[in-house]
Amino acid sequence: MKLPALNTPLRDLSEVDRREFFKAGGAVATVALSSGVTLMAFGGEASANADPGKRWGMLIDVNKCTSDCNACVTACSKENGWSAEEGSETDAQWIRKVDLTHKQTGREVSLPMMCQHCEDAPCVDVCPTEASFKRPDGIVLVDKHACIGCRFCMMACPYKARSFIHEPLTDQKSNAPRGQGTVESCTLCVHRVDAGGQPACVDACGTTGNGAMLFGDLNDPESDISKALKKFNSIGLRDDLRLNPGVRYSNL
Amino acid sequence: MKRLFATFLLLIGLIGSMAQAGEDATSSLYPVIPKAAGAPHPEGNDFMRINHKNLLKHDRDLTMRLGDREVKYSLKECIACHAVNGPDAQPVSVKSEKHFCRVCHDYAAVKVDCFQCHNSKPDPDLVKQLTMLPVKDRELAEYLEGASQ
Ligand code: SF4
Ligand code: SF4
């Protein structure tokens, strides 16, 4: 699975007073980000955690997921500090449960839906300010410092994964800053992933849920998720759009 | 016309002497800056007063865009270390005039936008999380190494 190079120019990095960073001393690692922009990191081992060699993804076994279970949604809202009132059309929803019935066979399935962290993300394509971006490890995020709230990305996302914040907020989680006038969606719990953990929904699904979610590096053939993907049939939602989502579903 | 000119001169003289008085003693309007919990910045307070915004802006891009969690300056840690407690012994939010950021920003009449999205109160989990992060382990190891020498 090929990940295109990080194509977002980090405009601000070149303006910064680098003196501070030289003070740290130690080995110098230089990463060329795009023409004319260089990122410097100090201290021996690479200090940027988003590894371009990785691609984070998820596999959801729909057979294990049940419609009465909401563990993933509850865990996400607690972790990231959002809440959606039942039936509200405007409240933020980072993840939701969807129940489906096959029209012909009557088979009923239930599954969690969130940002699918597309490889060719339409939200990134349409964003006029480069606020929507993909990290080198495939996680798609919104830079709220740059988001102007135009909501193009909400229109472009085929999975209805993004929400706009209408009201002023207070008491946000320090790991998930969010504010009025910006768009947001599932961050794949990037703060947990960077600390070596896995998303809150996956944790909750494993402990209080039905153990239907698997998280890991799609590029590592030795990861549990890659082994499971190799063994079992799975699909990406709306595969016809060729977005190559990082979230895949089996037994759907 | 002469009278006007004289008044003008007088005014200039007055302002000049006021400015001089301000240089000798700190103006009574100068804010009382609350003390922080942690060790002082090695760069010095004057440096931080001028550059904190640039440092934060640089490091926010590193963290958000590239996932670098070991940056030197993070707003989260600023907030934790510079927390000011209210009468109820709980940290105050930026709604209070006593909030660390507001003390100077009110004085300088510069609006802070950070807290439209970021929490202005310290994260109660921060201490717990910081002990989980590898950077803290390293800092501790370095400290112990230094202490043994
Ligand atoms: S699911 Fe939607 S928000 Fe997420 S990366 Fe794809 S297009 Fe963007
Ligand atoms: S709402 Fe924000 S993130 Fe979405 S397209 Fe507009 S500027 Fe980009």
CA–CA separation, A194 vs B109, rounded Å? 37
Does a structural domain hold residue B120?
yes
B60 contacts in chain A (CB < 8 Å): 145
Ligand 1 atom with the shortest distance to the CA of A114: 1
| CA atoms B82, A183, A205, A197: torsion sign | negative
* Whether residue B116 has pLDDT greater than 70: yes
CB B66 within 8 A of CB A49: yes
Pocket of ligand 2 (CB under 6 A): A 126-127, 129, 131-132, 142, 147-153, 183
Segments forming the whole domain that contains residue B102? 32-148
Q: Which two tokens stand for residue A217?
A: 């590096």
What is the model's pLDDT at position B25? 61
* B58 contact A CB<8A: yes
CB A50 within 8 A of CB A136: yes
* Whether residue B131 has pLDDT greater than 80: no
Q: Which domains are present in chain A? A: 9-83+91-250 (3.30.70.20)
Chain B, 115-144: which have a CB under 8 Å from a chain A CB?
116-119, 121-123, 125-126, 129, 132-133
What is the model's pLDDT at position B72? 85
Does a structural domain hold residue B65?
yes
- Give the helix/strand (H/E) hosting B9: helix B2-24
The tens digit of pLDDT for each residue in B49-96 reads 999 999 999 889 999 999 988 888 889 889 999 999 999 989 999 999
For B43, name the nearest residue in chain A, comparing CA atoms only.
A20
With bands split at pLDDT 50, 70 and 90, how would you rate the model's confidence at B3?
Answer: low
End-to-end CA gap in chain A: 22
Does a structural domain hold residue B81?
yes
What is the model's pLDDT at position A64? 96
Does a structural domain hold residue B11?
no
* A130 contact B CB<8A: no
With bands split at pLDDT 50, 70 and 90, how would you rate the model's confidence at B8?
Answer: low
Q: Which two tokens stand for residue A97?
A: 């449960």
CB B120 within 8 A of CB B99: yes
Does a structural domain hold residue B16?
no
CB A164 within 8 A of CB A142: no
The tens digit of pLDDT for each residue in A52-79 reads 999 999 999 999 999 999 999 999 999 9
User: A116, A73, A110: which is closest to A95 by C-alpha?
Assistant: A73
Domain count across chain B: 1
Beta bridge mates, A56: A217
Q: Measure CA A228 to chain center.
A: 21
Give Dmax (Cα) for chain A. Answer: 68
Does a structural domain hold residue B23?
no
B125 contacts in chain A (CB < 8 Å): 174
Does a structural domain hold residue B18?
no
B130 contacts in chain A (CB < 8 Å): none
Strand, helix or coil at B148?
A: helix
* B36 contact A CB<8A: no
B123 contacts in chain A (CB < 8 Å): 173-175
What is the model's pLDDT at position A87? 78
CB A174 within 8 A of CB B126: yes
A11 CA: distance to closest CA in chain B (Å): 9
Q: Which two tokens stand for residue A104?
A: 């012909």
Facing B116 at nearest CB: one of A15, A48, A179: A179
Asked if this assembly's ipTM is beyond 0.90, the reply is: no
Does a structural domain hold residue B2?
no
Q: What region, left, alpha or beta, does residue B77 occupy, with left being phi > 0 and alpha being psi -120 to 50 degrees?
A: alpha
Mutate to test the pocket of ligand 1, among A58, A162, A187 (most ligand atoms within 8 A of CB): A162
**Residue A152 CA to ligand 2 centre (angstroms):** 6
Q: Do A195 and B132 touch (CB under 8 A)?
A: yes
What is the model's pLDDT at position B139? 53
What is the model's pLDDT at position B134? 47
Per-block mean pLDDT, blocks of 10 residues, chain A (252 long): 42 41 41 43 52 95 96 96 86 95 96 97 97 97 97 97 95 93 97 94 96 96 96 96 97 92
With bands split at pLDDT 50, 70 and 90, how would you rate the model's confidence at B133?
Answer: very low
Q: Do A136 and B66 touch (CB under 8 A)?
A: yes
What is the model's pLDDT at position A228? 96
CB A92 within 8 A of CB A127: no
What is the model's pLDDT at position A88? 82
CA–CA separation, A190 vs A197, rounded Å? 9
The 10 Å CB-count burial string (b at 16+, else e) for B81-120 is ebbbeeeeeebbebeeeebbbbbeeeeeeeebebbbbbbb
Give Dmax (Cα) for chain B. Answer: 79
